[in-house]
Structure 1
Amino acid sequence: MKHSFLPVFLLMSGLLFYPLSSALGSHHEETTAVAAGKQYPNNEGKVVDVMDTTGYTYMQLENGDRLFWIAAPTTHVKLGDHIKFVESMSMENFTSKTLNRTFRRIIFVSSTMIKK
């Protein structure tokens, strides 16, 4: 009878620690990808285009193979800067009358930070 509990105990121990080890592995892969410059977290990107208007800075960001636009309160950025942002809302087919341009999708952000 003592021996029949050992396999059950080992199975339960393995199930208990499996999610922890797989989560640690995923974090390592994400950190490695970010460090290699392949892809940032979803709320970050590299500035590839910038346009300033009264009260707003429009930035096109690159994140891995994605390109997307954000609009932030006036921000002093340069091409190549790594930006982290806090999303407020996103809009489809937004027309900026100041720029006389329609963005297929744009993310309005409440704040940005240039990461070093």
Structure 2
Amino acid sequence: MRYIRYASIAIFAVALILIALANREFVTVKVLPGEIARLAAMTPAYDVPLFVVMFGGVLAGLVLGFIWEWIREAGERAAAARQARELQRLRAELRRLKGEKHEGKDDVLALLDEAS
């Protein structure tokens, strides 16, 4: 299974390298649309290779997707934390009740009963 994972990573890396080599032309990336840039009296524009723009878009999508899922799952994480606290409370109560049950009895029998 490990070899399949390594082979998949290698294929993915080769594909990314081929995409980068095929899209080396420089493109102008403008940060603001022309109308807004004229109003703000600034025209930030950068000449970057096309593959940087493509990979940047994919990376931005991945980051936004991860953030979206993290926010969406916040309720589930909170419910799991509540259940863990409740389970811990119930285990403590069970230990306390078993201790009261075996109070004043033989220690060996208490240990055997607790183990079962």
Larger Rg: 2
**TM-score normalised by length of structure 1:** 0.33
In terms of fraction of residues, the more helix-rich structure is: 2
Q: Higher RCO, 1 or 2 (CA under 8 Å, sep at least 6)?
A: 1
**TM-score normalised by length of structure 2:** 0.33
In terms of fraction of residues, the more strand-rich structure is: 1
